[in-house]
Structure 1
Amino acid sequence: MPRLRELHGELNRTATGGVDDPRGAREVMPPLVELGRSGVALPDAGLPPADLGTVLAARRSSYRYGASPLPLTDLAALLRGALGVQRTVRLPDGGSRALGVAPSAGGLPSLAPYVVARGPGDLRAGVHRVDLRAGEPTLVPVRLGDPTPFLARALDQPELAERAGAVVVLVARLDTTLPRYPARHYRTLHVDAGVALGHLYLAATALGLPGVAVMGYDDTAFDALLDLPEDRFTAVLFALGSPAEA
């Protein structure tokens, strides 16, 4: 694990030469909430019926977002439809495993989604961990407060900090994958994240929500924002919002 973290850090040095938090993003992070704080249940919202060919043809990356807040029902439909549980299978040892809509190597829960919400709206501004595998899918608060100043410093495209209503963050998990696979599985985690990202694009398109994948960000700052342990790291971001007015 330590060697993989060292490799990951070397591969993801910032453009300023790897200086720790060169833009001061961590200076403006919202505060952490106390442990055990109750979360927000995700509404039981599903994706609207849509023809796959139509959705594929309509899929676009968009930097234009509307001024109205992103409804929680739309966010719930996006997360459930793209990253939620598809089915539960029985294991040879008699146990069971929930398999996600987005496939992953070995069916393992290799990704942990988070939502960075700017507010105002149904969801309070801050950082929320998404628990989709619980009996009742929930958004668990990690930090509460306006994340816009942080996003403006941590993103290579700071204009997104003011435009996007929310950012879905896909976090890669070494703790659930390395006990089963060798260190080369580090690469597969990025493949899993890419598959999940594709699902987010398609679900957003079906919902009529503009979104765009973001890879230009300060890795160490986002890991700190999400309060990640050493065995997890930020893999990719997906900025989205309400539809832009015509």
Structure 2
Amino acid sequence: MPEIDQSIAQHYHDRTKYDPQTLASKSHNLDWAKQPVPFKEYKIGADIDLKPYLQETVETVANKSDTQWWWRLSQLLFHSYGLTAKMPSMGSAVYLRSAPSAGGLYPAEVYLVSRGTPLLPPGLYNYQCRSHSLMHFWESDVWQTLQAACFWHPALESTQLAIITTAVFYRSAWRYEDRAYRRIFLDTGHLLSNIELAANIADYRAHLIGGFVDEAVNDLLYIDQEQEGTTAVLALADLLDVRQNLPLGRTALPSTTDTNYPSIPDGELLKYFHLHTQISSTTTDKLNLPNVQPEKSLEDKYNFPFCEKIPTRTAPIYWGEHLSELSNTIYKRRSTRAYNGENLNFDELKALLDFTYQPQNYIDQNLDPHPDHFDLNLIETFIVVSGVQGLDAGCYYYAPKAQELRQIRFKNFRRELHFLCLGQELGRDAGAVLFHTADLKNAIAQYGDRVYRYLHLDAGILGQRLNLAAIRLNLGVSGIAGFFDDQVNEVLGIPTDEAVIYITTLGKPR
């Protein structure tokens, strides 16, 4: 039996750690005959083609209200999760999407819920990214059911559209087994970040909702919760309708904390963990929570004594007229496969940090200055510098509120990074490597075991902003979710209570 003081989230995290002594014994050969298809198909439903609107521009739709409405929805969905490339692979093809996914497995599904608009009847739609279309698979008013499942979140009171993201577990578990749960939520975080930014392009505001009755939303979508589960709900406020400029509601709600769980066999841990971090209709009644966001911390967590402090304030990245360069960047984003080992410059690193952590600097470019997260107070960022002109090699803590780097170790870690990233040359050859971490015990105390979802979603959201900023600056970037967990803390001098959530490598592409 597990230790009684260890919750299921902590148990899951510890059990899915990679360790150099045991990783080799856990390796397995993939059964390519059982490789999952990363697309969902419906045999019954009405298809709405969105492709024609991709040829339109802001100027061509300006005086055509109906065409403009469809163009905006088409832009939103394409920039969120649309197909951006077709790559040959082992005699077949792999379709790349606007949001990155570990191993190109794309576990996420995107659903659109309509309350009923003049152009889009009420009901449920699945976004078919292969054909860039909407499949209308359920034709009735389900909006009140969604509101009830989201505890009557204020963002759903006046909005007409909502996006629901889900995960098809086997798509990632086929390759990554139980540890796939981490990647599923990082991948979903990438997608949520894209939705938020794509909403800016299309004049929507995405209100993120992480606290919902899982079973109720799953039932709403007619999905089998053993195979697929809801990961997030987003109310879409139409910014061209002033009535939908809504006050922010609470993004994250807690679940229970489970310390009374059985011995769970390998291969069943992922599904057990997901099912036992759900919120029931009675959970929040017991907690009696106000419907407001948690207060933001005014101070950065770590202020190490005697460390050098280096300011990171800089001019914001320019994203083009009507965010045209943001649109282009989302379209051409690719994960870098190799770096050439050349140095970055400090101005480039500062610009990456500015776009990722200082969204208030982008209000003049029509970007949301306060995009939703689950709880960024829980996420910390450490940066290992191996090759950045103007910075000494070593490990730094990034203090986003003070906007400065605080050096905590003086050393070139290229060799250690190669090891920590499971022998991937991306770690060795990167100019800088970012580590997102969280005090898991403290996070569970605040939000219960469900916080494990929130931590990985937030890390994925930040990681995707890093992705896009790097591509805009013609840099290389690649996220890494496979690493030797405990050894990261030991090697880099990161406090032991900080669980490593995600790694992003940055460098000059080969």
TM-score by length of 2: 0.39
Pairing of 1:31-46 with structure 2 (within 5 A): 35-46=305-316
For 1:14, the equivalent position in structure 2 comes to 19
Give a deviation string over 1:132-162, Cα, whole Å, max 9, x none: 112xx11101111110121122222332244
Aligned CA distance change for structure 1 residues 155 and 67 (closer, same or farther; 3 Å): closer
For 1:118, the equivalent position in structure 2 comes to 386
In the TM superposition, residue 168 of structure 1 has moved relative to its aligned partner by 1.2
For 1:25, the equivalent position in structure 2 comes to none
Q: Does 1:65 align with 2:334?
A: no
- Residue pair 2:421, 2:482 contacting (<8 A) in 1 also: yes
For 1:224, the equivalent position in structure 2 comes to 490
Give me the whole-angstrom Cα distance separating, in 2, the residues matched to 1:139 and 1:101: 22
Give me the whole-angstrom Cα distance separating, in 1, the residues matched to 2:16 and 2:341: 37
Q: Does 1:186 align with 2:452?
A: yes
Pairing of 1:127-142 with structure 2 (within 5 A): 127-134=395-402, 137-142=403-408
Greater alpha carbon shift after TM alignment, 158-167 vs 212-221: 158-167
For 2:373, the equivalent position in structure 1 comes to 104
Give me the whole-angstrom Cα distance separating, in 2, the residues matched to 1:153 and 1:79: 25
Aligned CA distance change for structure 1 residues 120 and 198 (closer, same or farther; 3 Å): closer
Aligned CA distance change for structure 1 residues 175 and 86 (closer, same or farther; 3 Å): farther
Structure 1 residue identity aligned to 2:373: S
For 2:319, the equivalent position in structure 1 comes to 49
Structure 2 residue identity aligned to 1:83: Y
For 1:235, the equivalent position in structure 2 comes to 501
> Larger relative CO (CA 8 A, sep 6+): 1 or 2?
1
Give me the whole-angstrom Cα distance separating, in 1, the residues matched to 2:390 and 2:509: 16
For 2:416, the equivalent position in structure 1 comes to 150
Give me the whole-angstrom Cα distance separating, in 2, the residues matched to 1:102 and 1:11: 31
Give me the whole-angstrom Cα distance separating, in 2, the residues matched to 1:102 and 1:73: 24
- Residue pair 1:103, 1:195 contacting (<8 A) in 2 also: no
Aligned CA distance change for structure 1 residues 46 and 66 (closer, same or farther; 3 Å): farther
Aligned CA distance change for structure 1 residues 46 and 220 (closer, same or farther; 3 Å): same
User: Which structure has greater helix proportion?
Assistant: 2
Count residues with an aligned counterpart: 216
Q: Does 1:200 align with 2:453?
A: no
Give me the whole-angstrom Cα distance separating, in 2, the residues matched to 1:175 and 1:8: 11
Give me the whole-angstrom Cα distance separating, in 2, the residues matched to 1:73 and 1:120: 9
Find 1:83's aligned residue among 327, 338, 357: 357
Structure 1 residue identity aligned to 2:395: V
Structure 1 residue identity aligned to 2:22: G
Give a deviation string over 1:45-78, Cα, whole Å, max 9, x none: 3212242221111111013334431111110110
Aligned CA distance change for structure 1 residues 103 and 175 (closer, same or farther; 3 Å): farther
Aligned CA distance change for structure 1 residues 213 and 59 (closer, same or farther; 3 Å): same
Structure 2 residue identity aligned to 1:167: V
Give a deviation string over 1:30-50, Cα, whole Å, max 9, x none: xxxx83222211142321224
- Residue pair 2:344, 2:431 contacting (<8 A) in 1 also: yes
Structure 2 residue identity aligned to 1:131: A
For 1:93, the equivalent position in structure 2 comes to none
Structure 2 residue identity aligned to 1:242: K
CA RMSD in angstroms comes to 2.8
Structure 1 runs not aligned, ≥5 long:
20-33, 88-98
- Residue pair 1:117, 1:127 contacting (<8 A) in 2 also: yes
Structure with bigger gyration radius:
2
Greater alpha carbon shift after TM alignment, 139-148 vs 154-163: 154-163
- Residue pair 1:169, 1:237 contacting (<8 A) in 2 also: yes
Structure 1 residue identity aligned to 2:382: Y
Give me the whole-angstrom Cα distance separating, in 2, the residues matched to 1:201 and 1:239: 10
Give me the whole-angstrom Cα distance separating, in 2, the residues matched to 1:120 and 1:197: 19
Pairing of 1:156-167 with structure 2 (within 5 A): 156-167=422-433
Give me the whole-angstrom Cα distance separating, in 2, the residues matched to 1:61 and 1:229: 29
TM-score by length of 1: 0.76
Give me the whole-angstrom Cα distance separating, in 2, the residues matched to 1:156 and 1:15: 8
Alignment partner of 1:114: what SS? strand
Alignment partner of 1:86: what SS? helix
